[in-house]
Chain A
Amino acid sequence: MNKVVSSADEAVADIASGSTIMLGGFGLCGIPENLIAALVRRGITGLNTISNNMGVDGFGMGLMLEAGMIASHVGSYVGENRRLEQLVLKGELDLTLIPQGTLAERIRAGGAGIPAFYVPTGLGTVVAEGKETRKIGDRTYVLEHALHADFALIKAWKGDRLGNLVYRKTARNFNPAMATAADLTIAEVEELVEPGELDPDHIVTPGIYVNRILVGEKYLKPIESKFIRAGGAA
């Protein structure tokens, strides 16, 4: 078994226009930089994206937006992207904003064979409009449905050719859940190791969820909000 692909372009070669794609990351942290760049090179359009954010103007998914590739987006926060705000206010992009925890759980459910579930989140707000509610015990809950995608593009720290993955610090975020919730999952990693090198007790995403694995190059990892200790003392 060898899931390693030799280039980012090869990894995304069969992603067609109109596909639904999940993209991992929180802000610019833990995003599949190389796979996004390859998607932009492919120049496909009409994509339905699912991702917590939308990058920033000029980086991450912001590049896909600027290339006019995205028709609709489901996420929880897009405040760092002015261009998106303009497109939405003009009615040129279909944006669905949902609570971050509901987004994460809908993705988890999509990978776990759970079609829908009840949450207390958003009751009495626009998020619950048109949705089924149900009183269980003394609280009322909102029915939320699972999310599923054609492709998931995710970023991990280390992986092996079987697709086992470990993540680094807060770059984990949505990546493991998304890995489970697509027909085809493509992971890019900073380092490829031999099977057995990752401690089986520490593997976060077991290889069963991963179809292709790519060693990414030249990670830029821009920091959105530099916040340094005053005076520089620890």
Chain B
Amino acid sequence: MTGKERIARRIAREFKDGFYVNLGIGLPTMIAGYIPAGIDVMFQSENGMLGVGGPPTPEQEDPDLINAGKQTVTEIPGCSFFGSEESFAMIRGGHMDMSILGAMQVDEKGNLANWTIPGKMVKGMGGAMDLVAGARRVIVAMEHQTKEGASRILRQCTLPLTGQSVVHDIVTELCWIHVTPEGLVLTEVAEGLSAADVQARTEARLIVSPELREMTV
């Protein structure tokens, strides 16, 4: 099992029946493949769709039916379409149970940076700032370190923020971290790892939960 698959499987276990969830582009999109049996989740795509299904067959492919990553998708029975203004009213209005998105950096205050590297990257924030400001629970799903081995969980973000104190939980292939007013609380570690192992790969200070347990996926 890859690290990304481990992250996707663990987060999928947080879903409750009847949840409305927005999945970000990239790793978070993988989560849709691991929904536990008996749980119905409606996925929202901010370009204007509730009830996003999996990828199409070549025969089902429709250029008018895409997700926010511009990938072709399918409809599930009971899906609906709406304009961008309504899509974001839904997001900003607190109707989404969960928003799961990737990050470049997260810090001890739950600040999130995932949209720009000044002077290097001109892409835009898309809907990320709206999602983190509006969803009831914001979960960051990302690999624990950069390809160069640097921590992505910092004392303080150095890149421009996507949102200030918006992250509720951070899930990596190594651990589950819950963001609290006191700081980052380590609640789960991957099999075979200790809290000290995770701290060694993390710049931010981790508070070890008295109920620390193994992250089962």
Contact = CB atoms under 8 A, between A and B. Distances in A.
Contacts of A78: 122-124
B92 A119 contact: yes
Contacts of A170: 45, 47-49, 64-67, 81
Ordered nearest first, which 4 A-B pairs have the shortest CB separation? Answer: A101-B88, A124-B164, A101-B130, A79-B123
Contacts, number: 189
B122 A229 contact: no
B55 to A, nearest CB: 5
Nearest to A229: B55
Nearest to B131: A101
Contacts of A125: 129, 160-164
A225 B57 CA distance: 14
Given A29-B63, A177-B85, A223-B72, A229 B56 contact: yes
Nearest to A89: B122
Interface in B40-77: 45-49, 54-58, 60-73, 75
Given A29-B47, A170-B47, A79 B63 contact: no
A84 B162 CA distance: 22
A121 B66 contact: no
Contact of B92 (A121, A226, A229): A121
Nearest to B62: A169
A134 interface: no
A124 B163 contact: yes
A138 B194 CA distance: 39
A127 B169 CA distance: 24
A28 B119 CA distance: 27
Contacts of A234: 57, 60
Candidate in A26, A127, A177 with the most chain B CB atoms within 10 angstroms: A26
Candidate in B45, B119, B126, B128 with the most chain A CB atoms within 10 angstroms: B126
Given A75-B124, A121-B92, A227-B71, A29 B64 contact: yes
Candidate in B64, B85, B89 with the most chain A CB atoms within 10 angstroms: B85
B72 to A, nearest CB: 5
The binding surface of chain B is classed by DSSP as: loop
Given A77-B126, A124-B161, A227-B73, A173 B56 contact: no
Interface in B88-129: 88-89, 91-92, 111, 119, 121-129
B164 A123 contact: yes
A101 B72 contact: no
In the complex, which range does the number of interface residues on chain A fall in?
Answer: 35 or more
A106 B73 CA distance: 28
In the complex, which range does the number of interface residues on chain B fall in?
Answer: 35 or more
A10 B56 CA distance: 38
B133 interface: yes
A47 B164 CA distance: 35
A232 B60 CA distance: 10
B146 interface: no
A225 B71 contact: yes
A102 to B, nearest CB: 7
Nearest to A107: B85
A174 interface: yes
B84 A26 contact: yes
A229 to B, nearest CB: 5
A26 B49 CA distance: 12
A137 B151 CA distance: 37
B57 A228 contact: yes
Interface stretch (A37-45, A62-70, A92-100, A207-215): A92-100
A222 B63 contact: yes
B142 to A, nearest CB: 18
A39 B57 CA distance: 36
Given A77-B124, A84-B122, A119-B92, A27 B130 contact: no
A191 interface: no
